[in-house]
Structure 1
Amino acid sequence: MKKVITILMLILVLAACGESAQPVSEKQSENENQTPEQTSGEEREQQPNQQDTESKPTEKKEEPKYKVSDDATIVPLKEGINEKVVLLTIDDVPDKYAVEMAKTLKKLNVQAIFFANGHFLETPEQKKQLKEIHEMGFIIGNHTYSHANLTTLSEKEQTEEIVKVSDQIEEIIGERPKFFRAPHGMNTDHSKQVAKEENMVLMNWTYGYDYFEPYMNVEKLTNAMITGEGPEVDIDYSLLKPGANLLMHDREWTNKALADIVNGLRDKGYEMVDPHQIKTID
């Protein structure tokens, strides 16, 4: 009888040991099936973050549609792109009206290049104005520091006039300008080389009237910019044509005429080209 009891007790002990001795592979399987909430902190630290391992998509830069030709006109890069466009440019910013002009263009859903002079970028308020124009989505160009005639300066002075402004613009908006316009449209071989080294496209213009005394009048300026004609300065024929590069300035009369100029050109079937679509130097 004692032998029977002993055998039964031994069987019970062995059965109990079998239940507690779970195979290692089964434990691993259970851990693999645990939810993140059930996984210990130490185990979570050892697991790779899926976001870290996935590559981020790269932003695709828009392909350029236009280029600046040697005669300063805006030309499509291939067939099928609208040819009946004009480019709006505003020089000598930010003097007094540039921010207001930018707001006007923004309301009209029109783009332009704002060419900055370095001597207008010295005070905190002036820097703030240029940054505001840039943050509205407009391109900022280089128009030299003091608006001097580059043909009268030494090569060293020309370099300083150009590079200093690129440095100022980069400090204010975080990027260097991609377009350069020489004051009075007068470049030298050296200024062209400096612009090239700075990766800037040379930008002249095809017509503009607001710096002539007869056109310091809102009505006369509006008509001249829409028609391309300036009879008071012996331009009794139209300079308006597809690809025209229109020169304007940070001036009171231009500011007041700007909306009517844009609407008048649109009424003639012209589209204001987006300078972001103009080919630059990589």
Structure 2
Amino acid sequence: MKRLIFLLIFALALSACSANEAEEPDDSASENTNQQTEEEMEHKDEREEEEEPAKDEESEIEVDAEAANEPQYYVAEDASVVPLEEDIDENVVLLTIDDAPAEYALEMAETLQELEAGAIFFVNGHFLDTPEEEEALRQLHEMGFPIGNHTYNHPLIPDLPEEEQKEEIVSLNDRVEEIIGERPKFFRAPNGMNTDYSEQVVVDEGMILMNWTYGYDYFEPYMDADKLAEAMISGEGPEVDVDYSLLKPGANLLMHDREWTNEALERIVNGLRDSGYEIVDPHLIQTLDEASEKE
């Protein structure tokens, strides 16, 4: 009997030891787990370090894009385009095309787009009477060209009563907005003739008043593509008593929606560039709203 009791106690003791051994952790497995965790953390840190520069580069690109859209020029009283800062290129000229969209505006826009040259298209309301003319304006806008106001019916503003002066300007802004969803930011009076009243209406409408430095395509001797190209590139118009060059940094060049101008346009752009001038992007010209925000 004593021997049986002893065997039972011995069996229970062995069973307890086995249970304790099963509960003891495996040190080697623990070490492997810790090593795995450390390696994963190291890889995670490396991935984060690699991602950070990419975020910084993306941020820099966004900042550069915003800077690229900042105004760089303003329109002076003599109609020339002047840099806002000293380190901005002054050897630029502005291209403007009046009386659009008559017959050749879209062809001219396509030529400019191929040459990567900007321009402001100043439109008249009497060229926006048909669905086809509306579509032409819409395409000019979608191609990225700013649309300017050249009055609704192209009258001489000083010949009109004040109420009609306002109607010529504001009604065209309304019409343009109806078609493209934006109001013009620039105004040019027919023949460059304004009154104190019309100039105030232009300001009230939030537009930049713009004249021009020179242009020749409305003079009969220059209703020829070859002669016009030479005159616009040189700045000289000897056949209309301009025997000296009007080409200068910031020159504001007047052209029209005309057959001979359309034919000469590519030569004009290339000739001006060969003379050391760049075609300024009109979107870089400070608008009235932008000027007010900085004050």
> Which category describes the TM-score, using the shorter chain as reference length?
0.7 to 0.9
Residue 275 of structure 2 corresponds to residue 268 of structure 1: yes
Letter in 1 for 2:192: G
SS of the residue 2:94 aligns to: strand
Q: More helix by proportion, 1 or 2?
A: 2
**1:281 shift after superposition:** 1.1
Q: Which of 249, 260, 265 is the matching residue for 1:258?
A: 265
Greater Cα radius of gyration, structure 1 or 2: 2
Letter in 1 for 2:242: I
Partner of 2:113: 106
**1:63 shift after superposition:** 1.4
Correspondence 1:187-266 to 2 at 5 A: 187-266=194-273
Q: Which of 123, 138, 142 is the matching residue for 1:131?
A: 138
Partner of 1:166: 173
SS of the residue 2:211 aligns to: coil
Q: How many residues align?
A: 226
Partner of 2:104: 97
Distance 1:241 1:281 in 2: 24
Post-superposition CA distance 1:212-235 (Å, at most 9, x none) = 000000100000000000000000
Distance 2:123 2:275 in 1: 30
Distance 1:71 1:128 in 2: 34
Post-superposition CA distance 1:98-157 (Å, at most 9, x none) = 000000000000000000001001110000000001100000000001110000000000
Structure 1, gaps ≥5 residues long: 1-56
SS of the residue 2:288 aligns to: coil
Partner of 1:179: 186
Distance 2:143 2:103 in 1: 17
Partner of 1:142: 149
Structure 1 residue runs of 4 or more that deviate by more than 3 Å after TM superposition: none
CA-atom RMSD in angstroms: 1.4
Partner of 1:44: none
**1:268 shift after superposition:** 0.4
Aligned-residue identity in percent: 68
**TM-score with structure 2 length normalisation?**
0.75
Partner of 2:292: none
Q: Which of 67, 76, 94 is the matching residue for 2:74?
A: 67
**1:60 shift after superposition:** 4.6
Distance 2:268 2:70 in 1: 29
